[in-house]
């Protein structure tokens, strides 16, 4: 086993990880900052895949208070309000940092001001963007700045266990696999940032790339941390539906299409969203996803089991100019987005749940910080489109600066629990001692179980059925082996590790969904469609106990505004 040391170790190279590295370096350039990433820095992760844009209150008539209320109401009053306030206020700082310091260039109005487009669930057009490929612009510029500063990186290094010090009170480092040669690497660090992102790829239709397997959340569970709001899985309503045998199915057609006036149509060409919400196509993602699901269930869906997205009524030239990336993506799959119709289906997109964290991005393990989609609390029961990349960059920057200050005040290299390291290695190597199995069949059954029973619409019967299926899949994985032709780039081995993490997190999603018996935001119970009393809202916490997962609930703290009130009124006063 190779052993390395660093002051700050950052797991993940999306918006949260890259911003954390830059802010840690800025706070103390003498610190050794290391980014570890499962793929290649700047070429992987979900931030790079962001199409729509970045929510921030910049324009006259908009305000942080207005953005905050949209975020709280969109989150159905389950948000941590202090974190949500930090999101909307610091986004105003971060967007200027992105342009003025880091080199991003976003689309402009004719007068030179930043152009902001309409996104669903918001009362103001506040989504800053670079065409419809905003994430590439942000990640390219951030990666350039990381390279320019000589920040160390461990590419194609997969984190598999968070290792505490021997007395269990603080983080000592992270056990990894160097995917290039299959060898274990233990990185000892004074502080660690968990920023691996979520990635609900346990569902049949999903937007993230296949390497996203909820690694950070699974590691957090095994390390004894709780996960908050895990029942809240967001389905983006307009995933491309290109057929059952292509990975293009499930990839996102961005929300700005509906914000610009796109229509959703049933198989007969009838608009249907007004039947479900007065905001029609501009309703929040959870509402639109359930509407598409419902028309399919009622026999009004397209031949492949989705709906139609139409933009042609807005003018083909306008669509081609405004949504160039989307037009090209659809054309690759045989669809004419500008002049015709495109078949769509809801697709698992984002996880509102994750590790509870403080405003300084600290967690319950001393020296372990968290930011981005690995965390829970910011978005509540539903994330507004455009708030995701804002979340990553805002809290990534906060984490980096606070980690640098924490290391200076309290950080030192701690003695790791060697038994935990050995146990982590043994767990990862276990499949090599067993007969190879068909992992693809296990993956397909996981997709089916989560889509049918823990998906867009849930009920007690389906959740109980999913419990049996997930337990069976976990047992099958524990009996499944992989061929040890070589451990170097052994993708079957990493498929096994991915599936173990996905099943573990799927169990947490299901357990939280059982505990929330009413419907709220992205979590919809067909056996209880009513929303509970907002004034007594509680959030869920899932922990790994000696006898399996345990779920508790805690009351939401209405620290800034209570249901029925508005910050806009207090701001006006």
Domains, the chain, ordered by start = 235-348 (3.90.700.10), 433-536 (1.20.58.100)
CA distances from 403 to 85, 385, 407 (A): 21, 29, 6
Q: Are 363 and 371 in contact, with CB atoms under 8 Å apart?
A: no
By annotation, the residues acting in catalysis are 236, 258
Sign of CA dihedral 390, 393, 397, 403: positive
Question: What kind and span of H or E run contains 405?
Answer: helix 387-410
Q: What is the pLDDT, as a whole number, of residue 475? A: 97
Beta-carbon contacts of 30 under 8 Å, excluding residues fewer than 6 positions away, are none
Q: What is the pLDDT along the chain (573 residues), one digit of tens a residue?
A: 999 999 999 999 999 999 999 999 999 999 999 999 999 998 888 887 787 899 999 999 999 999 999 999 999 999 999 999 999 999 999 999 999 999 999 999 999 999 999 888 899 999 999 988 898 999 999 999 999 999 999 999 999 999 999 999 999 999 999 999 999 999 999 999 999 998 899 999 999 888 899 999 999 999 999 999 999 999 999 999 988 778 888 888 988 899 899 999 999 999 999 999 999 999 988 999 999 999 999 999 999 999 999 999 999 999 999 999 899 989 998 999 999 999 999 999 999 999 999 999 999 999 999 999 999 999 999 999 899 999 999 999 999 999 999 999 999 999 999 999 999 999 999 999 999 999 999 999 999 999 999 999 999 999 999 999 999 999 999 999 998 889 999 999 999 999 999 999 999 999 999 999 999 999 999 999 999 999 999 999 999 988 899 999 999 999 999 999 998 865 555
Whole-angstrom Cα distance, residue 508 to residue 292?
26
Query: DSSP class of residue 451?
Result: H
* Strand arrangement of the beta sheet that strand 548-555 belongs to: 227-228, 538-545, 548-555
Whole-angstrom Cα distance, residue 461 to residue 490?
39
Task: Kindly provide the b/e burial profile for residues 262-277, where b requires at least 16 CB atoms within 10 angstroms of the residue's own CB.
Answer: bbbbbbeeeebbeebb
- Helices 64-74 and 81-100: crossing angle in degrees, nearest 10, is 130
Least Cα distance to 503 among 200, 92, 82 occurs for: 200
Give residue-wise pLDDT tens across range 198-224: 889 999 999 988 889 999 999 999 999
- Using CA atoms of 390, 394, 400, 401 in order, give the dihedral in degrees to the nearest 10: 160
Least Cα distance to 196 among 396, 478, 418, 453 occurs for: 396
Q: What is the pLDDT, as a whole number, of residue 484? A: 81
Sign of CA dihedral 96, 101, 102, 104: positive
Q: What is the pLDDT, as a whole number, of residue 153? A: 97
Tokens coding 251 = 């990839």
Q: What is the pLDDT, as a whole number, of residue 48? A: 77
- Using CA atoms of 281, 348, 242, 127 in order, give the dihedral in degrees to the nearest 10: 50
- For the beta carbon of residue 123, count every other beta carbon within 10 angstroms: 12
Alpha carbon of residue 239 to chain centroid:
16
- Pairing status of strand 2-11 against strand 33-37: parallel
Alpha helices in 75-226 (DSSP H): 81-100, 134-148, 215-222
Query: DSSP class of residue 39?
Result: S
Tokens coding 220 = 């957090």
pTM of this prediction? Answer: 0.96
Q: For residue 169, how many C-alpha atoms fall within 13 Å in the half-sphere facing its CB? A: 4
Least Cα distance to 8 among 395, 411, 394 occurs for: 411
Whole-angstrom Cα distance, residue 528 to residue 460?
10
Q: For residue 209, how many C-alpha atoms fall within 13 Å in the half-sphere facing its CB? A: 12
**Secondary structure E strands in 209-292:** 227-228, 233-240, 263-265
Whole-angstrom Cα distance, residue 362 to residue 356?
9
Question: What kind and span of H or E run contains 512?
Answer: helix 491-515
Q: What is the pLDDT, as a whole number, of residue 52? A: 80
DSSP β-bridge partners for residue 549: 544
Tokens coding 396 = 């990534």
Whole-angstrom Cα distance, residue 250 to residue 240?
5
Classify 310 as helix, strand or coil. strand
DSSP β-bridge partners for residue 227: 542
């Amino acid at each position: 086993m190779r052993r390395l040391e660093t002051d700050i170790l950052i797991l993940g190279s999306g918006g949260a990880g890259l911003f954390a590295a830059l802010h840690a370096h800025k706070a103390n350039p003498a610190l050794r900052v290391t980014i570890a990433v499962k793929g290649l820095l700047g070429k992987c992760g979900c931030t790079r895949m962001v199409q729509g844009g970045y929510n921030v209150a910049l324009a006259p008539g908009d305000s942080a208070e207005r953005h905050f209320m949209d975020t709280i109401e969109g989150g159905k009053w389950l948000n941590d309000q202090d974190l949500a306030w930090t999101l909307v206020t610091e986004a105003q700082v971060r967007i200027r940092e992105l342009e003025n310091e880091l080199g991003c260039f976003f689309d402009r109005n004719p007068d030179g001001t930043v152009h902001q487009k309409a996104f669903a669930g918001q009362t103001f057009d506040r989504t800053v963007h670079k065409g419809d490929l905003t994430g590439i612009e942000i990640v390219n510029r951030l990666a350039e700045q990381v390279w320019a500063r000589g920040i160390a990186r461990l590419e194609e290094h997969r984190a598999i266990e968070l290792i505490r010090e021997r007395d269990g009170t603080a983080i000592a480092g992270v056990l990894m696999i160097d995917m290039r040669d299959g060898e274990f690497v233990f990185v000892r660090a004074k502080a660690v940032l968990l920023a691996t992102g979520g990635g609900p790829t346990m569902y049949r239709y999903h937007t993230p790339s296949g390497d996203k397997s909820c690694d950070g959340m699974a590691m957090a569970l095994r390390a004894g941390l709780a996960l908050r709001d895990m029942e809240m899985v967001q389905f983006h309503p307009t995933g491309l539906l290109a057929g059952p045998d292509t990975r293009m199915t499930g990839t996102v057609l961005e929300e700005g299409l509906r914000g610009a006036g796109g229509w959703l149509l049933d198989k007969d060409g009838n608009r249907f969203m007004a039947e479900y919400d007065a905001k029609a196509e501009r309703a929040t993602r959870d509402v639109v996803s359930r509407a598409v699901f419902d028309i399919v269930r009622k026999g009004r869906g397209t031949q492949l089991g989705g709906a139609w997205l139409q933009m042609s009524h807005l003018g083909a030239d306008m669509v081609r100019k405004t949504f160039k990336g989307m037009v090209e993506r659809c054309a690759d799959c045989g669809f004419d987005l500008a002049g015709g119709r495109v078949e769509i289906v809801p697709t698992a997109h984002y996880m509102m749940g994750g590790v509870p964290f403080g405003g300084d991005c600290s967690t319950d393990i001393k020296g372990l910080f968290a930011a981005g989609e690995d965390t829970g609390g910011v978005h509540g029961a539903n994330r507004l489109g455009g708030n995701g990349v804002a979340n990553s960059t805002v809290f990534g920057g906060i984490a980096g600066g606070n980690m640098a200050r924490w290391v200076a005040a309290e950080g030192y290299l701690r003695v790791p629990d060697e038994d935990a390291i050995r146990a982590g290695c043994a767990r990862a190597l276990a499949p090599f001692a067993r007969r190879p199995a068909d992992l693809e069949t296990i993956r397909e059954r996981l997709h089916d179980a989560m889509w049918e029973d823990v998906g867009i619409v849930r009920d007690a019967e389906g959740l109980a059925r999913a419990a049996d299926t997930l337990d069976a899949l976990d047992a099958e994985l524990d009996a499944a082996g992989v061929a040890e032709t070589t451990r170097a780039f052994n993708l079957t081995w990493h498929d096994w590790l991915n599936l173990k993490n996905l099943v573990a997190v799927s169990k947490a999603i299901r357990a939280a969904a059982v505990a929330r018996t009413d419907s709220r935001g992205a979590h919809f119970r067909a056996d209880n469609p009513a929303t509970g009393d907002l004034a007594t809202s509680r959030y869920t916490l899932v922990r790994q106990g000696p006898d399996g997962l345990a779920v508790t609930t805690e009351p939401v703290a209405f620290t800034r505004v209570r249901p029925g009130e508005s910050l806009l009124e207090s701001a006006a006063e």
